[in-house]
Homo-oligomer: A and B are copies of this chain.
Amino acid sequence: MSAERIVDVALEMVDHDGVDGLTMRGVAAKLGVAVTAIYWHVGDKEALLDAVADRVAAEVGGIRVTGADPVTRIVSLGRSLRRNLLERAHLVAIAHQQGRTAAVFQPARRVLVRELTAAGLRGADAAFSVQAVLALVSGSVLTQVQVERAPESRDKPEELWTIGDVAAAPDLLEFLADPIDPEQLFTRSLDTLVRGLVASRPGP
């Protein structure tokens, strides 16, 4: 028995069943120990959640960068990060909940600074661009995380468009009816954003 082992199984439970799947009694049972032993090693549930979040911040958030030109490389970085985070959506959710989002993004932030500098951005523009790209990734992941939590979404896009003044834009109906793939939406948004950011730099 050690704090480390406790966090091990806690992280495992969160990864598998989400935050709601983590109970003090469940952790104790999985370790074959009395519930109260947990309290001695890691403190109460809030402390356990913090410990799990710390571990997530250390283990999640890896990226890969490919491509030749700056825009392609930055977009590939964003896509890689997003994919990585979505693979462990439950863990990302708990890190975010415990206020460790910035730590999760730290490895990506460092690489991103390098790539944006290589793209010619400097000073305040570069700093803003870092935040903007990471915010887009964060937003995309968080939006999708909670959607996955409720697998049978009650929203029917078709219904949403049958009511109201659709006559205002009839040529859009066919496109708005079927929902866009989240990954495509993210990639194209990121591409548009990054082009705009890079274009704002002073000319050579």
Contact = CB atoms under 8 A, between A and B. Distances in A.
Contacts of A2: none
A149 interface: yes
The count of identical subunits is 2
Contact of A113 (B130, B160, B168, B189): B168
A200 interface: yes
Contact of A192 (B113, B171, B200): B200
Interface in A107-155: 109-110, 113-114, 117, 122-124, 126-128, 130-132, 135-136, 138-140, 142-143, 146-147, 149-150, 152-155
A163 to B, nearest CB: 9
A154 B113 CA distance: 23
Where chain A touches its partner, the secondary structure class is helix
Given A97-B146, A102-B160, A110 B165 contact: yes
A101 to B, nearest CB: 7
Interface of A: 50, 96-103, 106, 109-110, 113-114, 117, 122-124, 126-128, 130-132, 135-136, 138-140, 142-143, 146-147, 149-150, 152-155, 157, 160, 164-165, 168-169, 171-172, 175-176, 180, 185-186, 188-189, 192-193, 195-197, 200
Given A127-B172, A127-B180, 13 more contacts: A99-B154, A99-B155, A113-B169, A114-B169, A123-B171, A127-B175, A130-B172, A131-B185, A132-B188, A139-B139, A142-B143, A192-B200, A193-B193
